[in-house]
A and B are shown apart, each in its own frame.
Chain A
Amino acid sequence: MSWFSRPASETQVTHGQRLWLYIFAGITMTLLVVPTLIVIPMSFSDSQYLEFPPEDWSLRWYHNYFSSPEWMGATATSFKAAILTTIVATPIGVLAAYGLHASKIPFIRATFVLLITPMMVPVVLIAIGAFYAYVKLQILYTMTGLVLAHALLAIPLVVIVIGSALKSYDMNQENAARSLGAPRWKAFMTITLPQIRFAVVTSALLAFLTSFDEVIVAMFISGGDNSTLTRNMFNALRDQIDPTIAAISTIMVLVTTVLMIVAQVFGTDKSQK
């Protein structure tokens, strides 16, 4: 019996009968991944015009990138903003998720909806709203302003990830610690937090990526010395196809891949596998 005529599912469809599905899935997966990865070989091309495969290889676009004070400054801003956003949004989000989970007062549901609104409101509106608020607060084009706005965007993710982790966590463990005399914060820090640490790592990574990838809000409220990498990239993309962007894109893909690996290693609970 060849592979083609073997049943592929519970309904006795054979592999041969749904070969089209495998081919379709293969093409789709290729189309999903290839555009993400194709910038890597392109970034090593020597040509002004992006070609694939490149005829001559060179590092000139990386040289362009690393020797440009503007790009370097923007990269530093992006990393700084992303790290600070993680530091600000993760604890605020964890506190909020825990507070909502533990206090069983009537308007919890409404508060939860309020906290995830930044995910539902179109980003353009958040951007112009923040722009207006920052003019009043006089924090336009500052790192503080950038971090606060990015934290706002990251908080829904943290609240959702931590909230769902707490749902599957048994609060009685914390109550046991408290009945033995531990204060609430200590019971949380020593009993609860270690058990939801995977969710905390995941949400911290999401916060980092949210900030690092964000374009539209940064377009409005970051500028001057505090201009982010994505803001500069977007402006460059609107003007022309500059191969330097390929080099920067490659570095961004690298950052993402490293974060994904970190998430895999530290963000998943191995005991549950």
Chain B
Amino acid sequence: MSAAATLNSDGLARDERLERLRLFGLASPAILLVMVILVIPVGWLFYVSFLGADGSFSLENYERMIERKSYARIFYTTFEVSILTTILCIVIGYPLAYFMSQLPNKWANICLVTVLLPFWTSLLVRTYAWLVLLQKSGLVNEWGMSLGLWEEPLRLVHNMSGTLIGMVHIMLPFLILPVYSAMRQIDRDYLKAAANLGASPRRAFWTVFFPLSTPGLFAGALMVFVLCLGFFVTPAVLGGGKVIMVSMKIVSNIELFVNWGAASALGVVLLTLTVGILWIASKFLNLDTVSKGGH
């Protein structure tokens, strides 16, 4: 009797394991796709980055990166653009998110559309729009001059300022959405309590509200920074060849010079940086908020 019962429970446990494996198998098409089109090719890039011109193992692709000044400048530019964009997004995006979080739901949703409309609109369309707006005879220059803000048409595009303007416009929603959702979850009673206990509005904001909103702010800033590191389209168009980021160098290495080794080595460094930053950040905050906030 008891032997039969054990046998039966063994069988059930086995069935359950099988069932779980079968359920897990449902993920196999997705896993297969990621393996074949992403993991294996990127693994191959890794391998190629360690091959020299003669096809044998060598570190020359990495050595070149360290030796040549042009590479140092590209990494410098990449970090410069990414850090500046992230800071500008925080400075511009945080107050807007705060403003929206103070509104009643109905109004907040209307304001949210102004964040979501560009978010959903093609990157290329927005980059193109800035190209047109910022050009020499563009709207910004015309209005600036007619308002007497400046005399000569400014060079606003095909340089760093154009790139930053375009990047900030594209990255802002990635910052605003997680910050806004973090702010929405803050219990307003804390602020009331702070005010009742005699805290000035400024003190209540900096000691109560702001700290409670930081998880969203970190998530958003991290998202923006990491996306900036690998960005390509906007700097390529608005930078006009003067702002060269790592991703652009990778593309030109392949398109112009067909140098897979150099491109792969740059790619490996870019990937390591990105994954490294995400990994370190994941130690400090829950990355689920990043993915949820981003989309």
Contact = CB atoms under 8 A, between A and B. Distances in A.
B102 A237 contact: no
A215 B37 CA distance: 17
- Find the residue from B38, B135, B274 having the highest chain A CB count within 10 A: B38
Sorting the interface of chain B by its residue count into under 10, 10 to 19, 20 to 34 or 35 or more gives: 35 or more
Interface stretch (B62-70, B147-155, B213-221, B232-240): B232-240
Sorting the interface of chain A by its residue count into under 10, 10 to 19, 20 to 34 or 35 or more gives: 35 or more
A169 interface: no
Interface in B274-292: 274-275, 278, 291-292
A195 B29 CA distance: 24
Interface in A245-259: 245-246, 249, 252-253, 256-257, 259
B291 A104 contact: no
Given A122-B270, A129-B37, A42 B132 contact: yes
Given A122-B230, A237-B237, A241-B135, A11 B114 contact: no
B38 A256 contact: no
A126 interface: yes
A132 B44 contact: yes
Contact of B295 (A29, A111, A160, A260): A160
A245 B274 CA distance: 33
- Find the residue from A10, A33, A120, A161 having the highest chain B CB count within 10 A: A10
A123 interface: yes
B229 interface: yes
Contacts, number: 269
Q: Is the interface of A mostly helix, strand, loop or mixed?
A: helix
Given A22-B99, A32-B169, A260 B38 contact: no
A30 to B, nearest CB: 8
Given A100-B24, A129-B41, A237-B131, A33 B118 contact: yes
In the complex, the 6 A-B pairs of residues with the closest C-beta atoms, listed nearest first: A122-B230, A99-B26, A129-B41, A103-B23, A96-B30, A25-B99
Given A33-B114, A156-B291, A252-B124, 5 more contacts: A29-B96, A114-B39, A120-B278, A124-B270, A246-B132
Interface of A: 8-13, 17, 21-22, 24-25, 28-29, 31-33, 35-36, 38-39, 42, 49-52, 92-93, 95-96, 98-100, 102-105, 108, 111, 114-126, 128-133, 148-149, 151-152, 155-157, 159-161, 164, 206, 209, 212-213, 215-216, 219, 230, 233-234, 237-238, 241, 245-246, 249, 252-253, 256-257, 259-260
Interface of B: 19-27, 29-31, 33-34, 36-42, 44-45, 92-93, 95-96, 98-100, 102, 111, 114-118, 120-133, 135, 137-139, 169, 172-173, 188-189, 191-192, 194-195, 199-201, 204-205, 226, 229-230, 232-233, 236-237, 247, 250-251, 254, 260, 263-264, 267, 270-271, 274-275, 278, 291-292, 295
